[in-house]
């Protein structure tokens, strides 16, 4: 038995010596590390998670489209408001740029006219110079119906 072990040991010495004399390649070392060291895989997962968090933080400065609607079905009047806006956060002291549009029904569906100051000034100015306000479109009932 002892002779068999000695023979096997002697036969393995040249192979070991030959393996030690062969150049060690980087790919073989990296493959061995990946197989035998799970901490490397955990570090890669941590790196990927940190990269995802960085990309998410940078994405917080992407433009956003926001839309909301508000209806209050209580009381005598049921005002309807729809807001839509394009919002662009900036890195400048937390400032935010936005452009939006609002559709507000207000009390117009009740038949009660609602006049804003700009429309009434434009309407009255047209009347004073003798122009027909009905030629203006898209400015509401004041321009369409009031002579």
Query: Could you tell me the pLDDT band of residue 76, with boundaries at 50, 70 and 90?
Result: low
Residues 74, 109 within the same domain: yes
Gap between the Cα atoms of 117 and 64, Å rounded? 32
Spatial CB neighbours of 98, under 8 Å, sequence gap ≥ 6: 85, 86, 87, 88
Average pLDDT over residues 14-20: 52
Statement: residue 94 has pLDDT above 60: yes
pLDDT at 86 over 70: yes
Average pLDDT over residues 130-140: 83
- Domain match, 96 and 133 both: no
**Are 67 and 50 contained in the same domain?**
no
CA distances from 91 to 52, 58, 96, 143 (A): 20, 10, 9, 44
Range of the domain at 14: 2-59
Q: Average pLDDT in the 115-131 region? A: 87
Q: What's the average model confidence in pLDDT over 21-48?
A: 81
Other C-beta atoms within 10 Å of 133: how many?
A: 19
Tell me which H or E stretch contains 67.
Answer: strand 64-71
Mean pLDDT of 11-15: 50
Q: What are phi and psi of 101, to 5 degrees?
A: -145, 140
pLDDT, residue 105, reads 62
Q: Which of 59, 82, 104 is the last residue of a domain?
A: 59
């Amino acid at each position: 038995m002892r002779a068999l072990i000695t023979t096997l040991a002697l036969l393995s010495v040249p192979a070991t010596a030959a393996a030690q004399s062969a150049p060690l390649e980087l790919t073989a070392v990296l493959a061995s590390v990946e197989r035998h060291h799970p901490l490397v895989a955990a570090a890669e997962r941590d790196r990927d998670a940190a990269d995802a968090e960085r990309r998410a933080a940078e994405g917080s400065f992407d433009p956003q489209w926001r839309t909301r609607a508000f209806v209050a079905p209580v009381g005598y009047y049921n005002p309807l408001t729809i807001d839509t806006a394009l919002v662009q956060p900036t890195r400048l002291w937390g400032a935010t740029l936005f452009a939006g549009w609002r559709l507000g029904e207000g009390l117009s569906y009740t038949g009660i006219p609602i006049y804003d100051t700009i429309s009434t000034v434009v309407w009255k100015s047209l009347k004073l110079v003798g122009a027909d306000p009905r030629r203006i479109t898209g400015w509401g009932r004041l321009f369409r119906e009031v002579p």
